[in-house]
Amino acid sequence: PAPIVPAQQRHQLLFLRQPDYFYFNILKPSIFETRRLIQTLINADHPDEVSVVDNATTADAIVLQHTTWSFFSSNFQPGDAVIMLHYAYGAVKKSVHAYISRAGGHVIEVHLPFPVKSSSVIIFEFQKALQKGKTNGRKIRLAVIDHITSMPCVIIPVKELVRMCREEGVDKIFIDGAHAIGNVDLDMKDIGADFYTSNLRKWLFCPPSAAFLYCKMSEESSDLHHPVVSHEYGNGLAMESAWIGTRDYSSQLVLPEVMEFLNRFEGGIDGIMQRNHEAVVEKAEMLVKAWGTELGVEVPIYYRAPVEGEIDPITAYTRISHQVYNVDEDYNRLRDAVNKLVKAGVTCASLSK
């Protein structure tokens, strides 16, 4: 947003003009204020449970690094498992394999059908994978669960999966909610996970790069460390993350101005989320009617009949979203563009050539 750009520039100029003064007098209290605001937004118990990091990928590295050390220190045994969704974001899947597989851990992927018809399907498949993963005495040490998957776009019933993981004896649960804050309601106490991350730049209007990692207070909290070691090492993850060397921290300091901007809208962030949801459903229904397809939203330029062993045909989908700056014309242009492609006989296969 326009008001956030000059706010970020003010922080940049303060740093460039007086680096030492900025570091010793401005940076730490400003980062703390960001953490305090995030604590309120996500209903965490204490600001010390919140660390400000560059992005969700950094948060992934922090949690997976901690898990890897447990393998190397023999707290975990070779073959103990980490479970994640097959739908997990590509960078997350690669991170899990890079850290866990090399440490001797076993990676379990939960396969979900496409399209996902209901939350009960997700819960059923996850429980089936958990029980299969525990065969032969194997222990599941970490569950990595997306809150909103990237492709396909599905809201995962994280609260129910966290409860299931607890019942099945999973050691730790990490929710990757990269797109969640500002998009869906977040309540750390209600969700109940050990770790949760989300990007502030996605739906909360912060500049890139800014994100948070929530770590539920526990005896193990002090064992979590930022992968970039600098002067704050050993002072707790929140402090380690607040200084990882000389860099531009301005994107992490403008949350007070962002909240002021959000509160200009009726109902603040809650009102924005509600109106965005209502608008995107309305636009999805408009596209479905225009294309003669189904909610999802199917695009009528691809179809593949089911092959042996498959039940349903494969069709193409478009993923739409809505933010305060979107207008009707944005969706009308998409509708008309697809209609032109269909009229011209264009298919996904021809587009990929």
Q: Where does a domain end: 241, 260, 279?
A: 260
> Tens-digit pLDDT profile for the chain (353 aa)?
999 999 999 999 999 999 999 999 999 999 999 999 999 999 999 999 999 999 999 999 999 999 999 999 999 999 999 999 999 999 999 999 999 999 999 999 999 988 888 999 999 999 999 999 998 889 999 999 999 998 888 999 999 999 999 999 999 999 999 999 999 999 999 999 999 999 999 999 999 999 999 999 998 888 999 999 999 999 999 999 999 999 999 999 999 999 999 999 999 999 999 999 999 999 999 999 999 888 877 777 766 676 776 666 667 788 899 999 999 999 999 999 999 988 998 876 666 55
pLDDT at position 153, please? 87
At residue 353, the pLDDT reads 59
Task: Indicate the number of domains in the chain.
Answer: 2
Please tell me the predicted confidence (pLDDT) of residue 352. Answer: 58
**339: Cβ–Cβ under 8 A, 6 or more apart, which residues?**
290, 291
- Whether residues 242 and 307 share a domain: the answer is no
Per-residue pLDDT, 349? 66
User: What token pair was written down for 310?
Assistant: 């498959």
Tokens of 188: 């750390």
Shared domain for 333 and 305, answered yes or no, is: yes
Predicted pLDDT of residue 303: 65
**Last residue of some domain: 209, 233, 260?**
260
What's the 3-state SS for 158-203? HHHHHHHHHHCCCCEEEEECCCCECCECCCHHHHCCCEEEEEHHHH
- Residue 309: the pLDDT is 64
- Sign of torsion over alpha carbons 217, 240, 213, 264: positive
Q: Please identify, among 260, 288, 315, the residue that sits at the C-terminal boundary of a domain.
A: 260
Choose among 187, 329, 314, 181: nearest CA to 255: 181
Alpha-carbon torsion angle 15, 20, 21, 27, nearest 10: 60
Shared-domain flag, residues 239 and 332: no
Distance of alpha carbon 174 from alpha carbon 195, whole angstroms: 5
pLDDT in the model for residue 122: 96
Helices (H) and strands (E) in the chain, counts: 14, 9
- Report pLDDT for 226: 97
Q: What is the pLDDT of residues 3-48, one digit of tens each?
A: 999 999 999 999 999 999 999 999 999 999 999 999 999 999 999 9
The residue range of the domain holding 286 is: 265-351
Give yes or no: residues 158 and 61 share one domain.
yes
The H or E element spanning position 256 is helix 255-262
Q: Do residues 241 and 283 share a domain?
A: no
Q: Do 141 and 67 fall into the same domain?
A: yes
77 with 212, same domain: the answer is yes
**Domain match, 196 and 297 both:** no
343 and 253 in a common domain: no
| Same-domain pairing of 146 and 50 | yes
User: pTM of the prediction?
Assistant: 0.93
Cα–Cα distance list, 331 to 151, 267, 289 (Å): 20, 25, 13
First-to-last CA distance in the chain? 38
